Amino acid sequence: MTRNKVEICGVDTSKLPVLKNDEMRKLFHAMQNGDPDARETIVNGNLRLVLSVIQRFNNRGEFVDDLFQVGCIGLMKSIDNFDLGQNVKFSTYAVPMIIGEIRRYLRDNNPIRVSRSLRDIAYKALQVRERLLAENSKEPTPVQIAEVLGVTHEEIVFALDAIQDPVSLFEPIYNDGGDPIFVMDQISDDRNKDEQWVEEFALREGMKRLNDREKMIISKRFFQGKTQMEVADEIGISQAQVSRLEKSAIRQMNKNIQG
């Protein structure tokens, strides 16, 4: 998504109006009394809300124009269903509906196809979850949801997993101003044993000039297959520090091997 883009779907976003709460209430009253222009004014006055929501999805590889149009559908649905009698701001009501519309769009256009029956179970499970959460004030278990729907809890778990969005291994999950930490840094790989790493990269030779802490981090990460978070917990430093020390050690090892 291009953050400095001014025009989206032919709309000049730099000139979008912003409505205050009292203006919104007057317009909603007018709309509900049959004024067709009031609804259009409400839509135009909340397009900035759609823009703020679609910023959350700017790493999905989707065209910003497409997300904006889908977000506008969610906005119009929320306008048509908003109840003035409820003591809640319109934006508080509209944002979840806009997000939900965008997530449905992303799921339906996901290259990893999920069967319709599986999606139906997942959506029903989400509805039951919300109801049980409201009734009991605590998160329901898959078993409890399964009992309500009359299916096995394995089906619930599988269905909910199936509609989750895929995550790139190179998606950054933390950045403290230094080197970012990626999803792949959290994943251990049991296939990488000592012998493979020694044979392929001559790690032991490269580790000779590392200090004790660097040797410990490299050993735990690549010989023992531990994640950066696990290493950080064991030696009492932050994950960001582990990431930086690991990368510095690898650079030094490369120099030692090549030298």
pLDDT in tens, 188-236: 554 444 344 344 445 666 677 788 888 888 888 877 788 888 888 888 8
Q: Which domains does the chain have, with CATH numbers?
A: 7-108 (1.20.120.1810), 116-162 (1.10.10.10), 172-258 (1.10.10.10)
DSSP helix, strand, coil percent of the chain (3-state; round to 5): 65, 5, 30
In percent, the amount of the chain with pLDDT more than 70 equals 71
Q: Report pTM.
A: 0.42
Nearest to 160 by CA among 118, 127, 130: 118
Alpha helices in 45-115 (DSSP H): 47-54, 64-81, 90-108
Residue for token digits 């049991």? Answer: 190
Residue 140 backbone dihedrals phi, psi, to 5 degrees: -75, 155
Residues, the chain, total? 259
Lowest mean pLDDT across 30-44, 108-122, 162-176, 228-242: 162-176
Cα–Cα distance, 161 to 151 (Å, whole number): 16
Report pLDDT for 199: 45
| pLDDT at residue 110, rounded to an integer | 61
Nearest-angstrom CA–CA distance, 5 and 10 = 11
* The pair of three-digit structure tokens given for residue 231, joined into one six-digit string: 């290493």
Largest CA distance in the chain: 81
Average of pLDDT values for 176-191?
54
Helix (H) and strand (E) counts in the chain: 13, 4
Euclidean distance between CA atoms 30 and 47, whole angstroms: 19
CB of 58 within 8 A of CB of 67? Answer: no
pLDDT digits (tens, 9 = 90+) for 119-159: 788 888 888 988 888 888 888 888 899 999 998 877 888 78
Q: Which of 12-26, 27-41, 127-141, 161-175 is predicted least confidently?
A: 161-175
